[in-house]
Structure 1
Amino acid sequence: MWNSSGWKRRKRTIPSSGFQQKLSEWNEIQGPLADLYRSYIACLNSEDWENLGTYVDENVGYNGQTVGLVGYRQAREDEFREIPDLHFDISILVPNENTVASRLDFNISPRGELLGLPVNGKRVSFSENVFYEYENGKIAGVWSIVDRAAVEAQIAKSSEA
């Protein structure tokens, strides 16, 4: 099917059961880095800010900018303040020697804006694809891409109702 800009759009398909099986296998991956990452996510979900430094390096970078542990912690605290029902749910976890690739799912009701969008308490669901680089057992770099389009679509749909 061609759209107005001349690009051919692929028909969306539901992943095969083989893909679902692979997702299940990824989430059962064990090992030091996978376990460390799950502990980091548990630290976030329990808002255990005093222990965040156990998992995150003092000079952590976020999307190419050094924010440091203090800045990283402040950003996470702000997120929990603005999103009272925030919970990080790991849907895909793929670790290697010093990197973790993760897909995090969210189903939340932000108080005001989310990603610059006026959510204002509406429940939205979306995913974040994140890569974490580890050095000496701690997160030294984070590269994050959030599915903003999913949030936009849900806001638009709720505005139509």
Structure 2
Amino acid sequence: MSLTEAERNRAAFARLHDATNTGSLRIIETTIDEVVDPDVVFHAPVPMETTGAQALKQVWAVLLRGFPDLRVEVEDMLEDGDKLVCRNTVTGTHEGEFRGLPATGKTVSYNEIFIFRFAGGRIAEIWGVVDVFTQLRQLGALPA
């Protein structure tokens, strides 16, 4: 029995999501190679020196360096055609350098919304809106 396009898209998203919660950059990078188009277009407010799947790998390297116990909990997920939208709560402990801030040992909990567009069962485009204000405020980088 073959999977529908929507089922393939959900399965690719689930694999990536599960990988991100392992805390293993190696597993995340391997999964990105398997479910993300190498030339994925990544729209997110993060400074990067690279593009495509390499940019997504770089984002996860930075996140895990700063928050080795990072967890992403999907609160809502909606699908429409070739797109999947998820609203997440992200939690973690600031145990390493992040955005120029040395480790504080503080925990963070913030929200994000991502839209994934799929093509051929792989993630081809990503839009992200991350509550960086709350994240930085909780780390003490901005006044409360």
Report the TM range for the smaller structure's normalisation. Answer: 0.7 to 0.9
2:78 to 85, 94, 98: 94
What SS does the corresponding residue of 1:78 show, helix, strand or coil?
helix
**Aligned residue type for 2:33:** G
**Aligned residue type for 2:38:** E
Q: Percent identity?
A: 23
| Distance in 2 (alpha carbons) for counterparts of 1:144 and 1:115 | 18
- The alpha-carbon distance between structure 1 residues 113 and 51, as it changes in their structure 2 partners (threshold 3 A), is closer
| Distance in 1 (alpha carbons) for counterparts of 2:115 and 2:101 | 24
- Which residue pairs with 2:3 in the alignment? none
- The alpha-carbon distance between structure 1 residues 150 and 74, as it changes in their structure 2 partners (threshold 3 A), is closer
Deviation of 1:91 (Å):
0.9
> 1:106-121, aligned counterparts within 5 Å?
106-112=90-96, 114=98, 120-121=104-105
Unmatched segments (≥5 aa) in structure 1: 1-30
Q: Does the CA-based 8 Å contact 1:62-1:143 persist in structure 2?
A: yes
Unmatched segments (≥5 aa) in structure 2: 1-5
- Which residue pairs with 1:58 in the alignment? 38
- Which residue pairs with 1:19 in the alignment? none
Q: Does the CA-based 8 Å contact 1:34-1:93 persist in structure 2?
A: no
- Which residue pairs with 1:39 in the alignment? 15
Aligned length: 129
1:77 to 61, 64, 72: 61
Provide TM-score, normalisation by structure 2. Answer: 0.73
CA displacement 1:64-83 (0-9 Å, x = unmatched): 79811223223212321221
| Distance in 1 (alpha carbons) for counterparts of 2:120 and 2:79 | 15
CA displacement 1:47-101 (0-9 Å, x = unmatched): 3122322211110111179811223223212321221111121111111221111
CA displacement 1:4-34 (0-9 Å, x = unmatched): xxxxxxxxxxxxxxxxxxxxxxxxxxx5133
Q: Does the CA-based 8 Å contact 1:93-1:101 persist in structure 2?
A: yes
| Distance in 2 (alpha carbons) for counterparts of 1:113 and 1:50 | 24
What SS does the corresponding residue of 1:88 show, helix, strand or coil?
strand
